[in-house]
Amino acid sequence: MNEWVTVASDRLRYRPGVALFSLEGKQEQRSETGLSARDVASGSSGPVISVVLGTLNRRRFLKAAIRSIRENHIAMPYEIIVIDGGSTDGSLAWLTRQKDIITIIQHNGGEWRGQELLHRSWGYFMNLGFRCASGEYVCMVSDDCILVPGAIAEGVSHLDALRASGVMVGAGAFYFRDWPDAHEFHVQLTLGNRMMVNHGLFVRDALSAVNWIEEERYAFYHADSDLCLKLWQRGYEVVDCPNSYVEHYFLADRAGRSSMTAVERRDWQSYLDRWTGVMFDGREENAGGQVTKAYVDPCRSASRFPRLEVTLHRLSRTTATVAAPAKRAARKALPTLARNRRSSR
């Protein structure tokens, strides 16, 4: 490996026409021609990693998530793919200004020329990004996530090592926690106590082999679990990535989640119907759980979540002790605080 040199730049480099961007400067090993070792081996200068996420009207969270991807110290070529469901909060205008993002717009709701638009499933939207992805690995995250620095590179390194040793890996789960309520990070086990991916890496060839995510069976919930069981059924392993961490702001869409209870019940029943007797024996003790880890993030990545949203969350937790008039006054003051903060920059 003596022919590889370390690039010490902190610039975001763009290669026109390839939709390829990489953040350089964290011991990135590149050849004198500008290609990584993997590029030379494959004869390709395309991305190794495709980071895919969906979004709808969560611009502040989206911007924080994208920043955490760009600053994740990814030394190898990567691309970012965002699927937007037709945002009206300024997300689309912001996305079109980001030259390192491939944006796919698929309006999901409302009317067009007198006809109501068809509502698509979560799986449909993610498949748009997965099928578009050209990387060897597809990193699935959410727009309400902050990636702890190094998460993606550590995950790829771990999966590379396992695959090189002969393990048939299909996916790697990143440890995450639902900030700010949870203290420990965890990965989840699904039916049959098999590991699944909430946020993490998939081998793109494995996704193709199992025909991607189910689009019709589930409206929103459990399609990610279903995908992982399809990988297990096909002979792939879903493993944890022990040095990859994600902060997940679970209550980014409080109102939306509270209105989806019936959908979650229907999707859960569809999930059980499909896999009971196949990958699940029906016993409650084999219905899944969590593998937890204590971890202190030295970068305090959660501090990058939108401050106003965090303030609202903390206000909501004081319902039992704070009088309603005081809460209303505090909420009314937030826009003024935001304007003052912007004007002080």
How far apart are alpha carbons 310 and 313 in whole angstroms? Answer: 5
Q: Is the pLDDT of residue 145 over 70?
A: yes
Nearest to 224 by CA among 212, 234, 236: 212
pLDDT at 240 over 50: yes
pLDDT digits (tens, 9 = 90+) for 89-101: 999 999 999 999 9
- 185-204 mean pLDDT: 98
DSSP 3-state assignment of 248? strand
Query: Lowest-pLDDT range, 56-60, 267-271, 303-307?
Result: 303-307
Separation CA 267–CA 202 (nearest Å): 23
| Domains delineated in the chain | 5-305 (3.90.550.10), 308-343 (no CATH)
Question: Inter-axis angle of helices 122-132 and 223-234, to 10 degrees?
Answer: 50
**Residue 336: both structure tokens together:** 């003024």
CA 218, CA 224: separation in Å to the nearest integer?
10
Q: How confident is the model at residue 322 (pLDDT cuts 50, 70, 90)?
A: very low
Amino acid 290: pLDDT: 97
Q: What is the pLDDT of residues 202-233, one digit of tens each?
A: 999 999 999 999 999 999 999 999 999 999 99
Whether 154 has a pLDDT exceeding 90, the answer reads yes
